[in-house]
A and B are shown apart, each in its own frame.
Chain A
Amino acid sequence: MKYAIIASNRQLQSIHGLYNKLLTKIAPEDSIDLWIIATEGEQFEGFCDDHQWIFQHVHFLSIAEYGWQEARLDALTDFFQQNIVDALFFMQNMEMTELAIRLSIRLKGSYAINIQDILLHDQYIEVQKEIFDGRRLWKEQHQDKPYCIVMKPPINENIQAASLSSKPIVHFHHFPKIASQMLENYCFMRVKNNQGLQDAERILLVGQGVGSAEAVAQLQIWAKQQKMQLGVTRAVVLNGWASMDLLIGASGQVVSPKLCLAVGVSGAAPLFYGIQNASYIIAINTDANAPIIEKADLSIIHDWKILLQPYET
């Protein structure tokens, strides 16, 4: 059977983890090719120096215009209609999710997104994903090939796959001019209200449980001293204690810091959606029954005012 992994060039760091996971699921005679989706101007050689060769065939797809799925879709559809594969595995992000769904429709296959585990059978594929904030698992079977599966990055991304002795055969596909009929004009702009939450490694997340606007201001000072970025829940914004651009959650920003310290946060599902990619979540709350207590990696049932004291200057 033939498989392909499709990833953008920014996702290559996580390729080994996904590849290793797939290796345990497929038969030894099966093959996996890698497709790298890039924009014109991004170099292929640049990232391959540090990259172990684990694929026999690497396809480098370079598109002239920035980020237009239409061009990528046309190119991938053309290729996979002629070169039939059994399954396409996409590394999860927004662009890849869209690509997977639309490509599955064009190739008359099936799609599944946010998948954590798979089981490949001859006639069908069984996929598994977490739902309801990880409280339940959902398993489903798909029969229509090719299966377009959007995989969540494996937890241990540093696993190194055994490299092949021979170098891969690299295929370059370049599309310098595409017919993007829908676009008449476009320009990039800086995101005005980005407070650095997207890139922050450590975030202090403040919820309504802290009690007042003064408490939020106090925690903001503490966060600054600890070199943390402040984020807030929807309830804090609705109370007028903080501005909208600090909002984290389904209706705000989705962040992926290394450490998220949640203070006075109940842990409702829309909020948890915003911090679920955090590597480590610490919750401080006086309510032992708050949902965040169970979801966090480390929970402290105590008053934050005693634990988080700003330095006196």
Chain B
Amino acid sequence: MQILVCFQPIKDASKLSTHDWETALEPSFSFLPWMLHPSDETALAAVLHLKEQRQAQYRKIHCHALAIGDSSCDVFLRRLGALGYDMLTCLEAYQDIAYHIVQYMKQYPVDVIVTGYHDDGILGCILAEKLQWSLLSYGVDLQTSVQEDALSVTILQEARKLSTIAAKPLVVSMKTMGEHDRLPIATLRQMDQAKHMPIEVVACMEKHYQTEAKGEICWSEQRHKILLDADVSIEEKQQRLWQELYIKEEKR
């Protein structure tokens, strides 16, 4: 079974100070650290878990990690190589990512694509439609199935889980649920071995658009807020707090 995991490192925007948000319309994220999106990390960890399961059953599995971005992805790819991913690729695409992934897959066909469920699962939806594959959104766990050409995927539907046996080819969009959601820490020995793993870099310069959506960023009004002074007594604060709640409820 060939599994491709697509992930895109993101900037940790929570590290940006309030001052930066207030001063610039488009604050610079360039100095912020890169991080894995929690859903991407869940997807990567779930596939590693699946690989362990299949190897324990002496069944073949090939895990391919595909990072979308530039050389900043190398550190994540090296870590994944150390943890057991068989093939590492960096896809240098910045727009119309799904199209470039589909193009890339013509060289390396796979049975299952796993992505993280972020940005409302757009990537998974577009991949499923472009490839005309089935899609399972909100996956929370991957397990091996008795059938060789199928995968057991647990998905979340409203407040309950749904365990499915899904036949490949398949796109799974994974969401963090607290189970197998963190990548393990690689040992120094594993990291040392992964140093020599090749990382394939694919530059995608081609633009593929029907009509490009034009967009602009604007200032937004902050949510309604009431800031209480530190000088006011606690009793008064409590009174005002409940008054505000009462008024809000009354208005509703």
User: What is the interface of chain A, defined by CB distance below 8 A to chain B?
Assistant: 66-67, 69-70, 94, 97-98, 101-102, 105-106, 108, 110, 113-114, 130-132, 134-144, 150, 158, 181-191, 193-194, 198-199, 244-245, 247, 250-252, 259, 268-270, 280, 282, 288-289, 291, 293-302, 306-307
Contact = CB atoms under 8 A, between A and B. Distances in A.
Given A139-B215, A244-B178, A134 B120 contact: no
B129 A102 contact: yes
Contact of A70 (B134, B217, B219): B134
A302 to B, nearest CB: 7
B125 A98 contact: yes
B163 interface: yes
Contacts, number: 186
Contacts of B223: 134, 294-297
B167 A184 contact: yes
Contacts of A291: 18
Secondary structure class of chain B's binding surface, majority of residues: mixed
A140 B166 contact: no
Nearest to A281: B223
Contact of A191 (B159, B211, B214, B244): B159
Interface string B131-166: 000111110000000010010001011011111111
B224 interface: yes
Contacts of B126: 101, 105
Interface stretch (B51-59, B83-91, B195-203, B227-235): B227-235
Interface string B12-40: 01100010010001000000000000110
B203 to A, nearest CB: 26
Given A101-B125, A250-B39, A301-B227, 9 more contacts: A69-B137, A94-B137, A105-B126, A139-B218, A141-B215, A183-B167, A190-B161, A297-B248, A298-B244
Interface of B: 13-14, 18, 21, 25, 38-39, 118, 120-122, 125-126, 128-130, 134-138, 147, 150, 154, 156-157, 159-167, 170, 176, 178, 181, 210-211, 213-220, 222-228, 230, 234, 237-238, 241, 244-245, 248, 252
B220 A137 contact: yes
A98 B121 contact: yes
Contacts of B121: 94, 97-98, 101
Contact of B241 (A94, A98, A106, A300): A300
Nearest to B162: A188
Contacts of B122: 101, 113
A31 to B, nearest CB: 26
Contacts of B39: 250-251
B18 A194 contact: no
Contact of B18 (A102, A289, A301, A307): A289
A144 B218 contact: no
A270 B166 contact: no
Contact of B167 (A70, A131, A158, A182): A182
Contact of B165 (A184, A247, A307): A184
Contact of A298 (B14, B130, B226): B226
A252 B226 CA distance: 28
Contacts of B245: 259, 280, 298
A198 B252 CA distance: 22
Chain B CB within 10 Å, residue with most, of A101, A135, A182, A190: A182
A299 B38 contact: no
Contact of B170 (A67, A182, A295, A299): A182
Given A132-B13, A141-B213, A189 B219 contact: no
A267 B114 CA distance: 30
Contact of B220 (A102, A135, A140, A294): A135
B18 A294 contact: yes
Nearest to B161: A189
A198 B166 contact: no
A191 B161 contact: yes
Contacts of B220: 130, 134-137
Nearest to A101: B125
Contacts of B238: 307
A44 B197 CA distance: 59
Given A247-B178, A269-B13, A137 B163 contact: no
Contacts of A110: 211, 213
A71 to B, nearest CB: 12
Contact of A184 (B130, B147, B213, B252): B147
Contact of B214 (A131, A141, A295): A141
Contact of A140 (B134, B214, B225): B214
B222 A134 contact: yes
A280 B166 CA distance: 41
Contacts of B135: 69, 98, 102
A263 to B, nearest CB: 13
A297 B226 contact: yes
A67 B157 contact: yes
Nearest to B240: A298
B234 A306 contact: yes
Contact of A137 (B166, B219, B230, B241): B219
A94 B18 contact: no
Contacts of A191: 156, 159-161
A186 B164 contact: yes
